[in-house]
């Protein structure tokens, strides 16, 4: 499972013409489920995301987590995180999980984040979404449950 985690002042998801979800200060997680991802991958991304020390302390140093600052999370599915462009120019998505299984893992991830006491909102799985955010910093962290980076 891969995630692009961005510290945001606010973030919002719409599926035209409907508003879907919005958060204030917290983390925007763009999440791609890879073939073979299981409960361990879900736990890794959930635990790492809520505990990332990317929020400022009293001295302004990145030393606090989402849990410590009481921030929110907006979780958006994004299978294109597994797009492979090492050969050619058109991405190959063969490593992205089958949509039915990916949706299950995505829902498990949202539930795992909530189990930490974090308010987690979500996009609409499989929909063409518009994601608006105000990056804070900007701070962007890449997570991979298989620890490829």
Beta bridge mates, 93: none
User: Token digits for 78?
Assistant: 């994004």
User: What pLDDT does residue 62 have?
Assistant: 97
Catalytic hit among 6, 78, 94, 125: 78
pLDDT of 19 over the 90 cut: no
Catalytic hit among 79, 119, 130, 149: 79
Residue 78 in contact with residue 33, Cβ under 8 Å?
Answer: no
CATH code of the domain made up of 2-144: 3.50.80.10
d(CA 56, CA 93) in angstroms, rounded, equals: 37
Domain ranges of the chain: 2-144
User: What pLDDT does residue 17 have?
Assistant: 84
Catalytic hit among 80, 95, 140, 149: 80
User: What pLDDT does residue 149 have?
Assistant: 78
User: What pLDDT does residue 7 have?
Assistant: 98
User: What pLDDT does residue 20 have?
Assistant: 86
- Please indicate whether residue 79 is annotated as part of the active site: yes
Tens digits of residue pLDDT in 74-131: 999 999 999 999 999 999 999 999 999 999 999 999 999 999 999 999 999 999 999 9
Classify 1 as helix, strand or coil: coil
d(CA 28, CA 71) in angstroms, rounded, equals: 11
User: What pLDDT does residue 43 have?
Assistant: 98
pTM of the model: 0.95
- Please indicate whether residue 78 is annotated as part of the active site: yes
d(CA 27, CA 45) in angstroms, rounded, equals: 13
User: What pLDDT does residue 44 have?
Assistant: 98
Tens digits of residue pLDDT in 29-52: 999 999 999 999 999 999 999 999
- Nearest alpha-carbon partner for 73 in 88, 90, 51, 57: 51
Alpha helices of the chain — where are they, by DSSP H? Answer: 39-51, 66-69, 99-115
Percentage of the chain lying above the pLDDT 70 cut: 100
């Amino acid at each position: 499972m891969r995630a692009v985690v961005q510290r945001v002042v606010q973030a919002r998801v719409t599926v035209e013409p409907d508003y879907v979800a919005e958060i204030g200060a917290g983390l925007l997680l763009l999440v791609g489920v890879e073939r073979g991802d299981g409960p361990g991958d879900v736990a890794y991304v959930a635990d790492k995301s809520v505990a990332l020390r990317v929020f400022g302390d009293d001295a302004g140093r990145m030393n606090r987590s989402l849990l410590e600052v009481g921030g929110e999370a907006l979780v958006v599915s994004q299978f294109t995180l597994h797009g492979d462009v090492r050969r050619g120019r058109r991405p190959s998505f063969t490593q992205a999980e089958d949509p039915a299984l990916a949706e299950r893992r995505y829902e498990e991830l949202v539930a795992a984040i909530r189990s930490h006491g974090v308010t987690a909102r979500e996009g609409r799985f499989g929909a063409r979404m518009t994601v608006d955010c105000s990056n804070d910093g900007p701070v962007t962290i890449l997570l991979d449950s298989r620890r490829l980076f």
